[in-house]
Amino acid sequence: MQRIKQAKILIDGELVTRDVLIDGKTITRVAEHIESDVETIDAKGAFLSAGLVDVHVHFREPGFEYKETIAT
């Protein structure tokens, strides 16, 4: 298990600071403060997101891969 401490996260449209407890690949708890004797990552001042997607891509014709790829 891991604890991410004091990360800025978006909950219901509001940016808040929370601790996040992770077991493997699963978020098991989000709270203002979590006491735990597990590996801790201090994220004070950092933003935490489950994932981000770049929705602005230009798919090109074959032969023009140098212009831009889907991996931006």
Residue 51: predicted pLDDT:
76
* Residues 49-72 pLDDT 10s: 877 776 666 666 677 666 665 555
Give CA–CA dist 72/55, Å, rounded: 10
Residue 33: predicted pLDDT: 97
How do the domains of the chain map onto residue ranges? 1-72
pTM higher than 0.75, yes or no? no
Fold of the 1-72 domain: Urease, subunit C; domain 1 (2.30.40)
pLDDT at 50: 78
Q: What is the mean pLDDT of the chain?
A: 86
Q: Is 50 left (phi over 0), alpha (psi -120 to 50) or beta?
A: alpha
**pLDDT confidence of 23, banded at 50, 70, 90?**
very high
